[in-house]
Amino acid sequence: MATRLKVVTEPTEPDLAAPPQIEFDPGPARKRNAGWTAERQRIFIDHLALTGLAGLAAARAGISSRSANRLRNKAGAESFARAWDAALTLAATRLSTIVFDRAVNGRVERVYRDGELVMERRIPSDYLLTWLLSRLDPVQFGSPAAKAHALATGNPRDAARNTLPQLTAELTDVAPEDCPCEEADYIDHRLGEMAMEDEVRSSTGD
């Protein structure tokens, strides 16, 4: 009798610091301590800016995603709708990081036999690699139209090469109280990111 294998894929997502809080005027709510209170709206916007996922942000705020969309379209909640759009723009930073991670490190695929983990491997995404190259270096890897546009308006790689030294020279120290930063001990190649010893011990049970 053949042994059945179960394949489970688990994408990894790099942790990023929360983006700056978006200022907006909360939309009208029916009750003071129920529904879309101003605090719940701020929680929703903060998590939306971090994840880009309206459903998850609504869950964090303790409200359904349907209710979030209803408030977005409600008269008098225009500031909330603009904050929603701004949050998605900020979320692009995190999402682009995930795209790079999936393209280079790939997704984690785990193979189980009879309920036991027997193999774990990472599968890079050739599609994402091709997509990134075509947009980051259109002259070399873009479509004919993208190449022509880059040659006419300026190669983005050349622009980045010319501006990066000045941008890095302008970097200054940031006080810990202005931006908390936890130092990592080493690179965890299983996750494709930095990790700390206590995190590894807690995850392994040691």
Average pLDDT for the chain: 76
pLDDT band at 92, cuts 50/70/90? confident
List residues bridging with 120 in a β-sheet.
110
Please indicate whether residue 36 or residue 119 has the higher confidence score (pLDDT). Answer: 119
pLDDT at site 32:
44
Percent of the chain with pLDDT over 70: 70
Q: Across residues 22-34, what is the average pLDDT?
A: 54
Query: According to the model, what pLDDT value does residue 19 have?
Result: 53
Q: What is the DSSP letter of 76?
A: T
> What pLDDT is stored for residue 144 in this prediction?
92
Domain extent listing, the chain: 1-136, 138-168, 176-206
Of the candidates 4, 1, 2, the one whose C-alpha atom is nearest the C-alpha of residue 114 is 4
Which ranges of the chain does DSSP label H, i.e. alpha helix? 38-51, 54-61, 65-72, 78-104, 126-136, 138-141, 144-153, 156-169, 197-204
8-state DSSP, 181: -
Backbone angles phi, psi at 14, to 5 degrees: -60, 140
Band (pLDDT 50/70/90 cuts) for residue 108 is confident
Angle (CA) 130 131 137, round 5°: 85
Whether the model clears a pTM of 0.85, i.e. scores above it, the answer is no
Q: What is the per-residue pLDDT across 136-183, written as a single tens digit (0 to 9) for each?
A: 888 888 899 989 998 898 888 788 888 888 888 887 877 777 766 666
Average pLDDT over residues 21-38: 61
